[in-house]
Structure 1
Amino acid sequence: MSAPPSSPGPMGWRGLPQNRPPRQRDSDKRQRAQLGHQRRMRAGMVLACITALSLALSYRLVYWQVVRREELLERANRPTLERATAQPRGTIRDRNGYLLATDSVSYKFGVSPNVVSYPEQTAIQVATITGLDASALHEIFLSDAPYTMITDSLPYTVGQQLVQMNDASFVLEPVLNRHYPNGPLAANLLGFVNAERRGLAGVEMYYSDFLNGVEQIEMPDTMPAEEIKLGHRPFTPTRNGLDLILTIDHSVQFMAEQELEQAIRDYQATGGTIIVMDPKTGDILAMTSLPTYDPNNYTTYLDAPEIFQDPAVSQQYEPGSIFKVITVAAALDTGLVSPETPFNDTGSFEVGGRIIRNWDGNGYGTRTVTEILGYSLNTGTAWLNTLLGAERFYRYVAGFGFGQPTGIDLGSEASGSVKRPGDGIWHASDLGTNAFGQGIAVTPIQMITAVASLLNNGQLMQPRVVKAIVNHGHLQERPILVRGNSVSPAIAQTMQLMMADAVEIETKTALVEGWRIGGKTGTAQVPIPGGYHATDTIASFIGFAPADDPVFIVLVKLDRPLGDSQWGSMSAAPTFKRLTQRLLNYYNIAPDQYRLLGASVDGN
């Protein structure tokens, strides 16, 4: 290795020539000075930034540790409160604003045992508030687990008490649940909502996406209302979804359910249905069936899922003599007969090779068409059908809406069953038996909708259960729809009078003192493989009031009542009477002698 040079040499120590001119040496000095100055400036700026950051951090430390020390200590003792993950679901209310379905809040309650400061004392406090076992809680609180779920369902008020304990080991998560304030009231119609917030029956299913705010409808340009008022009940609309206003009247629904419960108890029926409808609009004022369930506790019924169906729209049955109203109306509308046309009843009548007899086996002699309806003569209605013929009769059956859904806004609606010539199962004798409601299957909603058309100038309405939608603060009425015409307005008015006469002839058990009413009974045998059950029947009555200007129409259907109650006149008709008396009072409809007198005075 060579030794370093002892002198700079000809190029100098830095490889620069030492013999440069003086002016160039001055320039190099200035450059070196500038570089040194820049280095010092950068170092100063870095030092200033570090100093400023240190001061800011010191200020924040003093702020949190001194100024807001107490607040931090309080937060440290608070339980962890999670946010609800589900979106609110719209409310359901009756036509007067009465709340039928809404959301409620419960809590999931968990704990971090390794953070519990006083396990024994905390266990006693929590047990006192929640009703849970103190020893089991104590055992959980003693563990070293980072987290343990205690329960997934605590009532809102109980959860709030746990929040007030300010225990940092608690984890409380609010959960939105569907709540039905009236329990089983209108359960078959309302349906229920599962844990995934999906409606699985009734209105909750049919309008599920609307209520969840998933399916949008066009909103008007007007400002949304902060408050919606229906009757005397104002409410704040749901902002993230749609609120439903039903056609149901809570009070009418309550009365219908009471009367159905009493009827099933008194007449030992296995079940039943009552529908109350406004015949002019198709609005369902009440719809109830038994057996039923409590939608707040739907999970307890999962072993018998058939209970979630609504028999009013999904259960098919043979209507029996109520169907004679349809046959008589069709015969009158064609002009083949009038209410006074005579028929000689010998007690039997043959159609398609089958002998048809009256319910009691007797002959009633010469009777008018009005009396055929009044005395409920199987022979007379079979005779009317032979005059009509199959083609015309089944055309009228379809015109009244049978064999097809009504279009009511409820899920799982059945179509009914109507045999027709040429379908391979119809027989010529069916023309005779179908005349009085045997061998034809209908649903309760089809039956009441068809008869209601005769109280509405022949207009067949589409029944509905939703009257209006509150769309993000905008009240939007749903349309009243006419499906078609069953008969002419003149024949409809004639049938209205004939049904009032029929009740006075046949069914005095349905009469309401002070008011004239109209209607028709039905007693239908229950079909079984190979024929009909020897004793089981479906007892029914359909009626309306007042007879001259109906405000409501009621269908009462009782399944398999026992003893003499198997006849519609002995069970369904008295049930109609009790309910109608209450409805006339509820709607403040004066007795005929005062109401009609007032109308005549006003007319003069």
Structure 2
Amino acid sequence: MGVGAFLTKKRRWPLHSSSKRIQAALVACTLVLTVLMGRAVQLQAIDAPATAAEAAKKMRRSVPLPAVRGAISDRNGNLMAATEAAVDVVADPYAITTLGLPPERLSEGQKEKGRRAPAAIAQIVVAHLGGDEEALTRQLSDSKKRFVVLRRQVPKFVYSEMQDDLRNGDLFGVYSINHPKRIYPAGSVAANVVGFVTPDESKDGLQTSKGAAGLEYALDKHLAGEPGRQTYETSPQGRIPLGDSVLTPAKDGASVKLTLDSDLNWQTEKILQAATKREGASSGMALVMNVKNGEVLALANYPSFDPNSFDKVPQKHLGNRVITDAYEPGSVQKVVTMAALADSGLVNPDTKVSVPPSLMSGGKPIRDAFSHGTIRLTARGIIANSSNIGTAKLARKLDKKKMTEYLSSFGLGRPTGFGLPGEASGSIPKP
């Protein structure tokens, strides 16, 4: 056997088998190209409007614009409630420790700067806002967090001064969110009338406030205003300077001017406080009106509160007892009774009546504040001396049903419509 007998013969595939493989490959390529072309047609023609709209949506940012709450002032223009420009100071610990860069791209020098940044920022923040520097450093060093509130409702000028120091130190990661602060320059003066607001948050995350007591609550819709909105184009680098922008301005709230005189109200409160303590009473109320036109010039409550720190006061002191409490009218009732008698033609200013030392009514004696025997007084004299006995004797001239009708016609037994929340209606005994 020759050497060539040990050589393996080269295998040949049938020609028809190779053709089938080529055909299969062509079919597969055709299918892939068909799918790609179909997808291209879908994106360019069929879905083009929707795709463009989605892209445009991602490039737009819509920001709510807060409305400034209206002010409340007294009759002389002295502010009793106002809104101060303020912000919530917040931080991004992750951005602080990474300098806003991907961690894997940081050089050793940048990493060291990121480690020192929390302490440097904490020192500046505490210098402007106060607080515990060590605790704040720990808080800002927690790189797992992206949002930390450092202080709420900081005056804008304070925040601006702090940001200047941060920029000078090449430090960032601390920013602000608008959160206007409601302030009460008059403090506790007429606080039970003015009321106070509590924090509120809109569905857009806008930090606002809402009336919770007094006129702040009763006139909330007028004082609050309507927030606006600004929509503009953005890129990964921020707002596009010449991009499209749509602005709907906020409508600031309406301001309110009261008939109250804050100086008179302060004096009334001091007198009321002294009288309440002198009499050993738990609370007191005082109302000063202009009898010619019905204007309320002063409305005082004791104890009262400072609406700038209402959360530190017992709940029972936050209301307005002049409005919410029903009480016996006292000697004011004499004027109402005498008016009813005069209107009925039963009494005139010179009508005389014998006034004994006491008078039984309902099984109990009625007496006057001053001691006397049996005396004769005119209707005018009864009012001048505030005689309980004389008023009661004259009132018996009018039947009970008719007297009840007169009391009702004077407005007793129903709310006055004063405008403050929680007004008691009082009651008139049935005849």
* 1:261 equivalenced with 2:289 (yes/no): no
Match of 1:412 among 397, 422, 426: 422
Change in CA separation of 1:299 and 1:351 when aligned onto 2, cut-off 3 Å: closer
* 1:96 equivalenced with 2:72 (yes/no): no
Match of 2:388 among 378, 382, 388: 378
Cα offsets for 1:226-248 (capped at 9, x unmatched): xxxxxxxxxxxx94221112122
Alignment map for 1:284-295 (pairs within 5 Å) = 284-295=296-307
Q: Which amino acid aligns with 2:317?
A: I
- Aligned match of 2:146: 147
* 1:107 equivalenced with 2:87 (yes/no): yes
Q: Which moved more, 1:347-356 or 1:410-419?
A: 347-356
Q: CA deviation at 1:418?
A: 1.0
Change in CA separation of 1:214 and 1:395 when aligned onto 2, cut-off 3 Å: farther
Q: CA deviation at 1:151?
A: 2.6
Structure 2 unaligned spans of 5+? 1-13, 17-61, 97-113, 201-208, 228-249
Q: TM-score, normalised by structure 2?
A: 0.67
Report the Cα distance in structure 2 between the residues aligned to 1:2 and 1:276, rounded to whole angstroms: 116
* 1:363 equivalenced with 2:373 (yes/no): yes
Overall identity of the aligned pairs, in %: 31
Tell me, yes or no, if the aligned pair for 2:153 and 2:181 is still in contact at 8 Å: no
Report the Cα distance in structure 2 between the residues aligned to 1:366 and 1:272, rounded to whole angstroms: 36
Q: CA deviation at 1:268?
A: 4.2
Report the Cα distance in structure 2 between the residues aligned to 1:292 and 1:352, rounded to whole angstroms: 38
Alignment map for 1:44-193 (pairs within 5 Å) = 86-116=66-96, 117=114, 118-156=117-155, 157-164=157-164, 165-166=166-167, 167-193=171-197
Report the Cα distance in structure 2 between the residues aligned to 1:255 and 1:351, rounded to whole angstroms: 40
Report the Cα distance in structure 1 between the residues aligned to 2:221 and 2:192, rounded to whole angstroms: 19
Give the match's secondary structure for 1:387. Answer: coil
* 1:326 equivalenced with 2:336 (yes/no): yes
Change in CA separation of 1:330 and 1:120 when aligned onto 2, cut-off 3 Å: same
Change in CA separation of 1:132 and 1:199 when aligned onto 2, cut-off 3 Å: same
- Aligned alpha-carbon RMSD (Å): 2.7
Q: Which amino acid aligns with 1:161?
A: E
* 1:283 equivalenced with 2:282 (yes/no): no
Report the Cα distance in structure 1 between the residues aligned to 2:293 and 2:257, rounded to whole angstroms: 16
Alignment map for 1:381-392 (pairs within 5 Å) = 381-392=391-402
Change in CA separation of 1:198 and 1:138 when aligned onto 2, cut-off 3 Å: closer
Q: CA deviation at 1:347?
A: 2.0
Q: CA deviation at 1:204?
A: 1.0
Q: TM-score, normalised by structure 1?
A: 0.49
Give the match's secondary structure for 1:211. Answer: helix
Match of 1:273 among 281, 285, 290: 285
Report the Cα distance in structure 2 between the residues aligned to 1:267 and 1:307, rounded to whole angstroms: 19
Report the Cα distance in structure 1 between the residues aligned to 2:277 and 2:158, rounded to whole angstroms: 39
Report the Cα distance in structure 2 between the residues aligned to 1:258 and 1:361, rounded to whole angstroms: 32
Report the Cα distance in structure 1 between the residues aligned to 2:277 and 2:344, rounded to whole angstroms: 44
Report the Cα distance in structure 2 between the residues aligned to 1:355 and 1:257, rounded to whole angstroms: 35
Q: CA deviation at 1:389?
A: 1.6
Change in CA separation of 1:255 and 1:355 when aligned onto 2, cut-off 3 Å: closer
Alignment map for 1:309-458 (pairs within 5 Å) = 309-351=319-361, 355-359=365-369, 362-421=372-431
Report the Cα distance in structure 1 between the residues aligned to 2:226 and 2:67, rounded to whole angstroms: 10
Report the Cα distance in structure 1 between the residues aligned to 2:366 and 2:139, rounded to whole angstroms: 77
Report the Cα distance in structure 2 between the residues aligned to 1:101 and 1:84, rounded to whole angstroms: 24
Cα offsets for 1:99-131 (capped at 9, x unmatched): 221112333222222333333333222222221
- Aligned match of 1:37: none
Change in CA separation of 1:393 and 1:114 when aligned onto 2, cut-off 3 Å: same
Change in CA separation of 1:354 and 1:114 when aligned onto 2, cut-off 3 Å: closer
Q: Which amino acid aligns with 2:75?
A: R
Cα offsets for 1:438-463 (capped at 9, x unmatched): xxxxxxxxxxxxxxxxxxxxxxxxxx
Q: Which amino acid aligns with 1:311?
A: R
Change in CA separation of 1:160 and 1:263 when aligned onto 2, cut-off 3 Å: farther
Q: Which moved more, 1:378-387 or 1:365-374?
A: 365-374
Cα offsets for 1:176-214 (capped at 9, x unmatched): 222111111111111111112221221111111111236
Report the Cα distance in structure 2 between the residues aligned to 1:321 and 1:397, rounded to whole angstroms: 14
Report the Cα distance in structure 1 between the residues aligned to 2:372 and 2:81, rounded to whole angstroms: 53
